[in-house]
Amino acid sequence: MYPTFRYHALANLSADEESALLSLGDREARWKAGETIQREGDTVHGFYLHVSGWIHSSLVMRSGARLIQKVHLPGDMLGTPNMALDRAADTITTITSAVTSFVPFERFRDLFYHQPRLAMLFTFAVQMERLSLMDTLAVTGRASAREQLARLFLDLHTRLTPLGVVSNDTFELPLTQEMIGDLTGITAVHVNRTLRVLREEGLIEQKGHLFQILDLERLQAIAPIRPRTPRFEPDWLSSSREGNSNAAAS
Amino acid sequence: MYPTFRYHALANLSADEESALLSLGDREARWKAGETIQREGDTVHGFYLHVSGWIHSSLVMRSGARLIQKVHLPGDMLGTPNMALDRAADTITTITSAVTSFVPFERFRDLFYHQPRLAMLFTFAVQMERLSLMDTLAVTGRASAREQLARLFLDLHTRLTPLGVVSNDTFELPLTQEMIGDLTGITAVHVNRTLRVLREEGLIEQKGHLFQILDLERLQAIAPIRPRTPRFEPDWLSSSREGNSNAAAS
DNA sequence: CGCGCGCTTGACCAGACTCAACTGTTGTGG
DNA sequence: CCACAACAGTTGAGTCTGGTCAAGCGCGCG
């Protein structure tokens, strides 16, 4: 089932809203590691709720280089930008085995007609994605490899924490060095070198796919930017006239 | 008056929708060149419709480096990501003299309650911004200075054309080389050198602030990415049950 | 058991940065 | 109305981060 904590971070949902959100998606689809959910250029009819597993979305540039736009984690919504296009902007591929739930655009549209407040929260979520892209942009191409990796690991750390899979600053990291490279715009070779430096400095530790942040504070000092948190339920969110039945939280 | 062509590119607006869109903004505010409309960290109560002039939004990083996130042109909406935050994410500054119109979040929220289709188009516009950020990200830090500048000029060319200020591939370019640097993540010094190369290659020409693209085709061949166009009025956009009174376009 | 993928390391190279100096233009105050 | 400050643009010299190419290693899986 789609984890709704992302929406609960934006506002208290009424029971109505919660169930509307949960009934957005079709029956869940299970994917093996390395499968392609959607290919750049495909015609699209909806988007995906991310239920479990690691997934990434990528672009292939004319030069042949692959750009990984983002690593998606459960709770994310995948492929929503395509609603404004006729062909998919990016390729969505599973990293580990994963579960998704498809949302046809028609059902999504009904949200705007019947659940205006939820539609607004959706728009907030999109804005948060946009902000995170802005932050990535601020770092990519401007910060050093060291700084970029620091930011990446901190970002994953904060996003994985609400999923309950981080303990003692340790988590599974199913990304290859090449993926990390495509994610940051750094060569895999240089990622390797930089990781070694971070390890030598006692900032991080890797045992197979198990990844540990040894010195969170120092890593935060290196990272040029800190993850953002959305504002919870701004006072203007609910109309004074209607749709105000949301004081009762779920 | 706010130019609505951006919305007309997304769908035919009913007369109702058109007037709802136009009545979003307060009385227009005039700014001189170099004024700051909003500062990073300010508390925000709304966003801005961009009526005329050149404006940019920027971030200052811990290192002191400035990142120009985007150059805004008339028809854009400024500062909308802040709706999900309690403090402004970026600083909005005029490049030339400019005119804006303020939209308080309350009035924006009412759009979702009374004009669901327009609210959806707003969300589309946000998604397009997100896509453009994705494309910028694909280039920044991955492409060479030459390629980045090619892309920047092509982007401005396509965005300025609907404003009717481009003739014979020539337009006013009020950006300093330092701004271009902050926009692309390149040093002003290197921007200068790269511009000289492009000039020597007969790709562009500059006479003061007048900028001309001499060889559009070759510039497009250099640019790693092409500007996107949104899909016009996807068939699922309007509900079959309600809000279907939009066949009559404006 | 061997193939292949991901990781590691070395040697060399180059695009972009830094620092610095100089020019031309604009605008402003004495 | 001139002098000067401030700023945008230009160019050179030297440096360095990160890319390229290449080779070797180790582990998991078929």
What is the residue-averaged pLDDT of chain B?
93
Question: From start to end of chain A, where are the E strands?
Answer: 28-31, 36-38, 46-52, 55-60, 66-72, 77-78, 91-94, 98-104, 170-172, 204-207, 210-213
pLDDT tens digits, A191-208:
999 999 999 999 999 988
| Nucleotide whose C1' lies closest to the alpha carbon of residue B188 | D9
* Cα(B125)–Cα(B129) distance, integer angstroms: 6
- Which positions in strand C are less than 7 Å from the protein's CB atoms? 5-11, 15-20
The order of strands in the sheet holding A46-52 is A28-31, A98-104, A46-52, A77-78
| Nucleotide whose C1' lies closest to the alpha carbon of residue B146 | C15
Q: Does position A210 have pLDDT exceeding 80, yes or no? A: yes
pLDDT tens digits, B207-246:
889 999 999 999 999 999 999 999 999 999 987 665 444 4
Q: How far is CA B196 from CA B146, B178, B222, B223, in A?
A: 10, 15, 16, 17
Q: What is the pLDDT of residue A240?
A: 65
Q: Is the dihedral of CA A142, A145, A150, A152 positive or negative?
A: positive
Between A and B, how many residue pairs show a Cβ–Cβ distance under 8 A? 175
Q: How far is CA B34 from CA A192, B48, B57, B78, B92, in A?
A: 44, 17, 12, 16, 10
B65 CA: distance to closest CA in chain A (Å) = 9
- Confidence grade of residue B141 (pLDDT, cut at 50, 70, 90): confident
Chain A stretch 149-208, residues whose beta carbon is closer than 8 A to a beta carbon of chain B: 185
What is the residue-averaged pLDDT of chain A?
93
CB of A141 within 8 Å of a chain B CB? The answer is yes
- What's the per-residue H, E or C state across A137-164? HHHCCCCCHHHHHHHHHHHHHHHHHHHC
pLDDT tens digits, A95-152:
999 999 999 999 999 999 999 999 999 999 999 999 999 999 999 989 999 999 999 9
* Cα(B26)–Cα(B215) distance, integer angstroms: 42
* Cα(A201)–Cα(A191) distance, integer angstroms: 15
Q: Does position B155 have pLDDT exceeding 80, yes or no? A: yes
- b/e map A63-81, b = 16+ CB within 10 Å: eeebbbbbbbbbbbbbbbb
- Which positions in strand D are less than 7 Å from the protein's CB atoms? 7-12, 17-22, 28
Hey, are the CB atoms on B112 and A112 less than 8 Å from each other?
A: yes
Q: Does position B247 have pLDDT exceeding 80, yes or no? A: no
* Nearest to B154, CA basis, from B98, B139, A36: B139
Q: What is the pLDDT of residue B241?
A: 60
Q: What Å value separates CA A19 and C1' C27?
A: 64
pLDDT tens digits, A12-44:
999 999 999 999 999 999 999 999 999 999 999
pLDDT tens digits, B83-102:
999 999 999 999 999 999 99
* Cα(B134)–Cα(A134) distance, integer angstroms: 9
CB of B80 within 8 Å of a chain A CB? The answer is yes
Which residue of chain B comes nearest to A185, CA vs CA? B142
Q: What Å value separates CA A152 and C1' D26?
A: 27
A135 token code pair: 């932050």
Q: Does position A247 have pLDDT exceeding 80, yes or no? A: no
The residues, ordered by sequence, that sit 6+ positions from B1 with a Cβ below 8 Å of its Cβ are: B22, B28, B51
- Confidence grade of residue B203 (pLDDT, cut at 50, 70, 90): very high
* Cα(A212)–Cα(B157) distance, integer angstroms: 47
Q: What is the pLDDT of residue A127?
A: 98
Q: What is the pLDDT of residue B242?
A: 53
* Cα(A239)–Cα(A83) distance, integer angstroms: 27
